Structures are given as C-alpha cells and as structure tokens.
A and B are shown apart, each in its own frame.
Chain A
C-alpha cells in the first residue's frame, strides 16, 4: 500500500478546475518531486495532503486514511506525522528561531524543558542552523528562514515532510544547499519527502521520482532518467522550456 495516494481528485476555484482528476501515489521513504508550469495546482496538491484544502471529488489517502473525510482525531494523528515547509518559512515574527522550532513541542507534545531543548538543538544542527538559534526571523536571510522552517517541520520526528517551493527566491548556491539538505534528511532520517518545485535541475538531482502536472492532471510520473528520456510531448515541451529559461 502506498503511503500517500491521490485518487481522481478534482478541485475547483471560482469555476476553474485547478485539479482535474489527479491520480498518483507516493511510496514510503522516497523523495517525490512535483513539477510543472505555474498555476497547474502543485501547491494545491500539497495542501490536500494535510487537509488545508479538501477535494470537490475524489479521495486523498494517507497511510490508508481518507484525509478529506476523517475525524479530527485521525487528522491530528496524520498532521503529527507530517512536517510542512512553506514557501516563506512561515516563522512567527515575534519568536526567535529557537522558540519557533520549539513551538510544536511546547504547545502540542507538552514535553519537559530539557527534552525540548535537546530536540530543538538536534533539529537546528540537522539543518546547519545552530548559530542562528537566538535570532529573530527578520534578522536572518531567506535561505536561513527556510532552513529554520525545515527544522520546525522535522522537530517532531515527522516521517513525511512536504516542501512547497523550498528553493524559490534563493540564489543558486543556497538552492543547492537546500536540495542537499532534503536528500540528507531522506537518507539519514528516512523521511519521505514530497517536494513542489520549479527547480527542475535540482529535482533531477535529488528526486527518486518526478511527477509533471499540466492543467491539473498528471502527465508523467517517472524516475529522473526516464523523465529526461520520455517521449511524452508535454514532458519534452516542459524540458525545452526549462532549458531555454536556464540559458
């Protein structure tokens, strides 16, 4: 059984179909990249996994539970297992990096202070951000904010992390650092990673499988090698557009 599966999911906003019968599945332990042109429903897809959005029809299953139709207790259990890295990091401005990372442990898990301190230090070390623990989000760079957001996503020892455009707005060097981090967390902690990205080059380097979305539909889902060699005209069009953009 797949860890996450989308079964014929349809989602409309103001009469416009953003997801149109989307079907695919993600296996436990893999790094799964979702790519595609802007406005094809990549972030919307990610939000369905943790019920920030619910489908108009179809099902989203996480570990055998229908997320769009489960009880609030089941939803809490699913969200407990899932970390989410938002585009801007979504850190609370009035808290330091350390306090932001400790927030879910303090508010939900009610752990003793010593254990919270240890887990926060481990999470910050994992994203190479131990030096910035005492700083406020406004005092650190965009890349550091994303890494702090990632530390908060993994601090509860989540086994799935959803990344929404983890490298958007970052310089190439920082983008490589973030991509390396995604792969490292997958290898060392066995975290299943679902990455929505525009960075095709990065996706080809770190993903186990790549899904191409177009007009809310899955047009290709394959390994990076098969993706590059695909005869699918939509994949070829996307690859050539990306190549042109890079040049």
Chain B
C-alpha cells in the first residue's frame, strides 16, 4: 500500500512539474535560477562524466578488441564500441552519474528544506514548491541529460580509439571510420531519448523523495539514499523497455 502511495505521489510530482515547465522562463529571477540549475547539472558533473565515459570506452574497446583479435576482425572495433556506447552505455553511464551527483544533491537539499519548514513556508506564502523548486531542477536534468549523453559517447569513443591504437594495433583513422560507418541516426536519437527519459525520471524521483522527507536528519539521509537507489533501478528498467520498443 505504501508502495502504491509512493508511486502515485511521484507521478503527481512529475505531471505537476512538467506542467510548470513554462513558468521557469516567466521572470528574470526564475530564468536566473534555471541557469544556476543548468550549470550545476551540466558543468558540475562534467569532470565525473568525462572520467566515467573515457574509461567505459577504454574497457569496452579492450574487452571487445581482445575477442575480435581472435578472429582477426579488429577492423570492426570502432563499430562495436560506437554502437554499444550510442545505444546503451552512454545514456546509462550518464544517467548513473546524474543520479549519483545531481539526484542525490537535489534530494538532500529539498529534504533539508522540508525538515527546516522552508517548503511549508513557501506554501503559506502561496508559492508553489513544485513551480519554484521542482520545475527548474527537473527541466535542467531533462535538458542536460541528452547533451551529457552525447558528450559521454564522444569521449567514450575517443577512449576506445586510444586503447585500440596503443594496445590492439588498430589504426586510429581506421577505428574512427569503422565507428562512423556503423552509427545510424536512429541509434543516436534512441540514445538521446533514453537520456532524456532518464533525466526526467532522476529529477522526479529525487524531488519527490526530497519533498516527502520526514523525521529530521535521519529522514534526509534516507531520502537521499532512496533517490539514488530508485533512480538506478528505474534507469535499468526503462533502459531495457526503450530498447525493447525500438530494437525488436
């Protein structure tokens, strides 16, 4: 019963926030706040995303390259790395980074505001917390997740190329040519769509967990932990579902 209640509350937060997206651009102050959220979400996570995507590409290239070498098919290394990254690994690792870095911070920030009565104070002033707090944070994740996923894909492909050239004897130009020949617009679009969905889900889950916090500091810790765990699970499940819809 508590699970159903939680799902219902989170869904309500998502719809109310999406409806409030246009208000993010309403005034100078709200636009400035949205800019801050974009910066925190995008630029703030860039170092982590860069390292994660670089090593994801390098690991992929090494594992796949060693197998391809057994069949003398190293020329397909670029294609294999690119396809894996663009379809799955880039949105997945970008989603994980955003859930860990941004989602947890949102849940902790809103949770602290909740236990300090700041959210109640907004309600009494007739300022909708969903419009004032949730909408700019969720929209920033929705905008930044696909951009970061694209960046992730580019850096991962580069990492794979470095491993190919230095450890597997694959010429970098050949690697890139193979990568670009296999990548299709559909793969890119599905990858970006996945990232966008992940951004929406991470934002919604984190906001709902933060705003539903109770029981003081313990509650803030619990809300933060839950936001990360639920986001991770949702990323995995939704990732599979989107793949199932577009690749039968």
Contact = CB atoms under 8 A, between A and B. Distances in A.
Interface of A: 47, 50, 52, 76, 79-80, 82, 84, 86-88, 90-92, 103-104, 106-108, 149, 152, 156
Contacts of B27: 106
16 contacts: A52-B120, A79-B124, A79-B125, A79-B126, A82-B124, A84-B120, A84-B121, A86-B120, A87-B117, A88-B116, A90-B118, A92-B113, A104-B125, A104-B127, A108-B127, A152-B121
B105 to A, nearest CB: 13
Contacts of A88: 116-117
A50 B124 contact: yes
Contacts, number: 46
Q: Which 9 A-B pairs have CB atoms at the shortest separation, nearest pair first?
A: A90-B121, A86-B117, A104-B125, A90-B117, A84-B124, A107-B127, A90-B118, A76-B126, A108-B126
Contact of A92 (B29, B118, B123): B118
Contacts of A76: 126
B125 A107 contact: yes
A204 to B, nearest CB: 27
Interface size, B (range): 10 to 19
Interface string B87-129: 0000000000000000000000000010011101101111100
Contacts of B118: 90-92
Given A90-B117, A106-B29, A107-B132, A52 B127 contact: no
Contact of B121 (A80, A86, A106, A108): A86
Contact of B125 (A47, A52, A108): A108
Interface string B127-157: 1000010000000000000000000000000
Given A90-B121, A106-B29, A80 B116 contact: no
Interface of B: 27, 29, 113, 116-118, 120-121, 123-127, 132
A80 to B, nearest CB: 7
A50 B124 CA distance: 7
Nearest to B127: A107
Contacts of A90: 116-118, 120-121
A106 B127 CA distance: 10
A50 B122 CA distance: 12
Nearest to B30: A107
Nearest to A75: B126
